Amino acid sequence: MPVLKHEQTTKKIAKLINEGYGQGEKENYKPFINTIRVSSSGRVSRVKGWITNRVHEFLSDSETRLFYIYEFLGSGKFLDIKEHYPLIEGMDKIVPNLDTELIKRLTNQKTGEPIILTTTFLLSEQTDNGDIRYFARSVKDYRQLENKQVIERYQIMQEYWNSKNVDYGIVTNKEIPLVLAKNIEFIHPFYNLEEYGIEDEMQSFLKERLVDMIGNGEDKPISEIQTSFDDEFNLEQGTAIAIYKHMIARKIVGVDMNKTISFKYPCHTVKIFSKNEVYRYDTYYKHANQI
């Protein structure tokens, strides 16, 4: 569990709620705990999200990697991704049903003050029939699942989400596909090309030309095509790489995300999709729902 740098007290919890923490949708959501107010044994990070258009805050590599997977595989289907979601609304209804030991986990044993539990991710997605489905996941190092107190807190979370008919589970670092997560991290900053000085009116033309060159490249390495592309249009070296990453992020082209992305691979290993072709990495997407 993340630890607040300042002890939770009824007054401080009320202040956080009053300031909107743990509330809001998409770009307006504010995680209940963040990298400023929380000490963590892991590496903290802040990532600008595609789906929410806001900066997400994470307390470990595992949280960040799982976010990348949800972001990439759920893009176009997930409606919102909320991190560090507080278990507040409706908690009073499940507490009477908990045994004494579990109730202790909702109280600071030194001060007697209440503790607010948070779930690492609360996600919403649109189903094929148009309904909105929610699922919640907690991220933890697998070794910590041997800690009795940790397990007891997760039991409370299970009861909480069951009461709301929300699918809940724990994801350990062992269950996160590392190569897939690192590949997404590699392309993630290039979702929007405007940030790299490529103007809107030029983007369509440049992307279409690069796709054409890759499509006709056959056994040529992708790096060779990228160099030729930059030279042809007198662009700064690396522009083709940025566009290529962008096209993978936007699913205009596809590569084997189980293998580390490399520009040494021949062009024929790149899948080019038509405008009418749906490309969601369905196999991975179903797996993302499972983890």
Over the stretch 73-100, which tens digit does the pLDDT of each residue have?
887 788 999 999 999 999 989 988 888 8
Cα separation of 147 and 133, whole Å?
A: 31
Q: Give the confidence band of 114 by pLDDT, cuts at 50, 70, 90.
A: confident
Mean pLDDT of the chain: 87
Q: Check whether 273 has a pLDDT greater than 50.
A: yes
Cα separation of 237 and 206, whole Å?
A: 14
pTM here is: 0.89
Q: Check whether 16 has a pLDDT greater than 90.
A: no
Looking at residues 204-217, what average pLDDT do you find?
95
Q: Check whether 266 has a pLDDT greater than 90.
A: yes
Cα separation of 291 and 93, whole Å?
A: 28
Q: Check whether 40 has a pLDDT greater than 80.
A: no
Burial class of residue 182 (count of CB atoms within 10 Å of its CB; 0-12, 13-18, 19+): middle
Q: What is the pLDDT of residue 200?
A: 78
β-partners of residue 242 are: none
Give which of 123, 114, 108 is closest to 26, Cα–Cα.
123
Residue indicated by tokens 């600008």: 48
Q: Check whether 15 has a pLDDT greater than 90.
A: no
User: Taking a C-beta distance cutoff of 8 angstroms, is the pair 48, 54 a contact?
Assistant: yes
Q: Is 192 left (phi over 0), alpha (psi -120 to 50) or beta?
A: beta
